[in-house]
Chains A and B, each alone.
Chain A
Amino acid sequence: MEENKIINPWGDDKNYTTLNLGPTHPATHGIFQNVLTMDGEKIIEAQPTIGYIHRAFEKIAERRPYYQITPLTDRLNYCSAPINNAGWFMTVEKLLGVEIPKRVDYMRIIVMELARITDHLICNSVIGVDSGALTGFTYIFQEREAVYEIYEEISGARLTTNMGRIGGFERDFSATAIKKLKEFLIRFPKKLKEFENLLLRNRIFMDRTINVGGITAEKALNSGFTGPNLRAAGVDYDVRVTDPYCSYQDFDFDVPVGTNGDVYDRFCVRNEEMRQSIKLIQYALDNLPEGNYHADLPDFYLPPKEKVYNNMEALIYHFKIVMGEIDMPKGEVYYAVEGANGELGFYLISDGGRTPFRLHFRRPCFIYYQAYADMIKGGLLSDAILTMSSMNVIAGELDA
């Protein structure tokens, strides 16, 4: 009918519809909105809106002493909180210029690789859910419960772990923790194989995911992609290999790389990375060096509780550290770790006071989500949902 015709700026005669996807939508795992202009089932243009969970981390960080910032970093990529914690502590240790014992490095690697496994587990099972396979999701959450038990043994919390201290860990790995790790390393590869049998060489899954949501290597590099999304496109950039930190140079592991950058490649890259993480944890656990579980930093490392209750000097140090009355040196540091989604960077400017002058998080999700609008142009709506879940966009990291 004449009066209902939408006048479209493309000037042609077609009748495009506008579809609002989100912000609350069961298929978008997170809170972001996309206003899609569609020609039937095909997407012509997408306008993303984010910021629905903006919590102003960078403003909060300017008001908090260095130890109180760790719970904030937990909530950036909350599916793999120990990586964020370890990255923050390593940034502060670089600012202080301290040497960390090898045992701490290996313990940190064990914890970070466990976190990487949990994050990739969620992402892969969610790709399964979005392409119609809900079984994998229920199998996988049992494995996450096993890892939660290990986190509880080491740090006390399940999800937002707040793990570690400046200079190391608050306690050594207890015998229960090592036993649970060993049990996990025996049980998990079998469960991963079960999950792979469901999806990896499944004809239906491959038909639904190959050549969907692809991106070329050049475009990915230009758009700031890092992590599994970039490696699936063909560029083998991994911060653990290019710029090794935390004794990763002692370890021998492969970096899986895809070819097309489509959903299937991302699924396979994450799957293979989980296997490599198992290898890393096994090697670190077998060769855990002797030594102290923290560096010798009386100014920044909280003293043990028995001393605090009995010794006056330890009590004074405890008070000063918890209240943040210790001054930090001046300086500017940029430190990058390989998060589960890519290069997680911490840019810290310290002017000598008890709180940072400026703390900026280089969040990989925020940077690669820009390219989403381009990636889904010309595709179908269901493929757009699958592309979004395969890119593993975590709302906490997107909006910070």
Chain B
Amino acid sequence: MDNNYVLQKIRQYFDGFVLGYEELSGILTITVKPVVINDLISYLKKEPEPGFNFLTDICGVHYPDQENELGVVYHLHNMKNNMRIRIKTFVTREYPIVPTITWIYAAANWMERETYDFYGIEFEGHPNLKRILNVEYLDYFPMRKDYAMEDPTREDKDNRYFGR
């Protein structure tokens, strides 16, 4: 079983929803529409042939130049055959809603909260979508490219001395 086989299986069942695919550094990377995330990931987990039984990571990305700016990247892992796959999906800033996968993998709970905290992507159906790492009263999503790294409210550090 290799990347081509998995790609073929995915295109067989989800052809209308796959927006692109490529192989980056040995890992098959597939971009799909957000609506099909639930079906795709539970197919990848439950069927023994793809058999991706482990959710490695969920993270967010922000590409300010694209029309669908905010993205969610899922990394899945098939431990038996040592295969990884990367699934990406993109949403717009005005309507950043992606279905949750906490009912498939319990590990997705806090990972989705972290993505919400950093990028503002809302996961529909998540049991407890609150900020997890930042303070609760923070009113912006800090990892988006619009915001600088430094604290916008501080007034003591003079930028001339800090090389900015």
- Is any CB of A less than 8 Å from a CB of B in the complex? yes
* Contact in complex: B149, A331 (CB < 8 Å): no
User: In the complex the two chains form, is B105's CB within 8 Å of A222's CB?
Assistant: yes
Chain A residues, CB < 8 A from B25: 94-95, 331-334
From B56, B82, B105, contact of A345 by CB (8 A)? B56
Is A334 a contact of B133 with CB atoms below 8 Å?
Answer: no
Which of A59, A221, A349, A362 is B149 in contact with, Cβ under 8 Å?
Answer: A59
User: A51: which of B55, B84, B106, B132 is its contact (CB, 8 Å)?
Assistant: B132
Q: Which one, B27, B105, B109, B131, contacts A334 given CB within 8 A? A: B27
Min CB–CB distance A360 → chain B (angstroms): 4
Per-position 1/0 for B73-117, Cβ under 8 A of A:
101000100101010000000000000000001110111001000
B54 and A224 within 8 A (CB): yes
- Which residues of B44-88 have CB atoms within 8 Å of chain A's CB atoms? 53-57, 59, 61, 73, 75, 79, 82, 84, 86
Residue of A nearest to B71 (CB): A358
Is residue B3 within 8 Å, beta carbon to beta carbon, of the partner chain? no
A50 touches B106 (CB 8 A): no
Q: Chain A: how many interface residues by the 8 Å CB criterion?
A: 38
Tell me the minimal C-beta distance from B151 to chain A in angstroms. 10
Highest count of chain A CB atoms <10 Å: which of B24, B25, B109, B118: B25
Asked if A221 contacts B54 (CB within 8 A), the reply is yes
CB distance from B42 to the nearest CB of A (A): 13
* Contact between A56 and B105, CB atoms less than 8 A apart: no
Complex contacts, B79 vs chain A, CB 8 Å: 237, 242
**Complex Cα spacing A223 to B110, Å:** 10
Q: Which one, A54, A331, A334, contacts B134 given CB within 8 A?
A: A54
CB contacts (< 8 Å) of B34 on chain A: these are: none
Contact A347 B59 (CB under 8 A): yes
**B55: chain A residues within 8 A (beta carbon):** 224
Residues of A within 8 A of B114 (CB): 366
A63 touching B57, Cβ below 8 Å: no
CA distance A332 to B55 in the complex (A): 19
Interface centre among B56, B82, B84, by most chain A C-beta atoms within 10 angstroms, is: B56
Q: Report B145 CB to chain A, min CB distance, Å.
A: 8
B39 CB, nearest partner CB in chain A, Å: 19
Contact indicator per residue, chain A 320-338, by CB within 8 Å of chain B (1) or not (0): 0000000000011110100
By a CB distance below 8 angstroms, the chain B residues around A334 are 25, 27, 56-57, 75, 84, 86
Contact B27 A367 (CB under 8 A): no
Minimal beta-carbon separation of B131 from chain A (angstroms):
8
Q: Which residues of B contact A254 (CB under 8 A)?
A: none
Whether a CB of chain B sits under 8 angstroms from the CB of A35 is no
- Cα-based distance from A149 to B27 in the complex (angstroms): 40
Residues of B within 8 A of A371 (CB): 106
CA distance A56 to B133 in the complex (A): 9
Does B18 count as interface, using CB distance less than 8 angstroms?
no
User: Quick one: given A243-B82, A334-B75, A399-B133, are A222 and B149 in contact (CB under 8 Å)?
Assistant: no
Chain A residues contacting B134 (CB-CB under 8 Å) are: 51, 54
A50-B59 Cα distance, complex, nearest whole Å: 18
Partner of A358, one of B53, B61, B109, B131: B61
Whether B107 and A347, one on each chain, are in contact in the complex, defined by CB atoms closer than 8 angstroms, is: no
Q: Does A45 count as interface, using CB distance less than 8 angstroms?
A: no
Q: Roughly how many angstroms separate A219 CA and B105 CA in the complex, as a whole number?
A: 10
- Report the minimal beta-carbon distance from B146 to chain A, rounded to whole angstroms: 12
Q: With a CB–CB cut-off of 8 A, which chain A residues contact B110?
A: 366-367, 369-370
Known: A59-B149, A333-B25. A360 touches B57 (CB 8 A): yes
Determine how close the nearest CB of chain A comes to the CB of B78; give it in whole angstroms. 10
- Closest Cβ neighbor of A236 among chain B residues: B79
Contact among B84, B106, B131, B132 for A223, CB-based, below 8 A: B106
Q: Assess whether B61 is in contact with A50, with CB atoms less than 8 Å apart.
A: no
List chain B positions with a Cβ less than 8 A from chain A: 24-25, 27, 29, 53-57, 59, 61, 73, 75, 79, 82, 84, 86, 105-107, 109-111, 114, 118, 131-135, 142-143, 149
A residues in contact (CB < 8 Å) with B: 50-51, 54, 56, 58-60, 62-63, 94-95, 219, 221-224, 237, 242-243, 331-334, 336, 343, 345, 347, 349, 358, 360, 362, 366-367, 369-371, 399-400
List 6 A-B residue pairs with CB atoms under 8 Å apart, sorted by A's residue number.
Answer: A51-B133, A54-B134, A59-B143, A224-B54, A332-B24, A332-B86
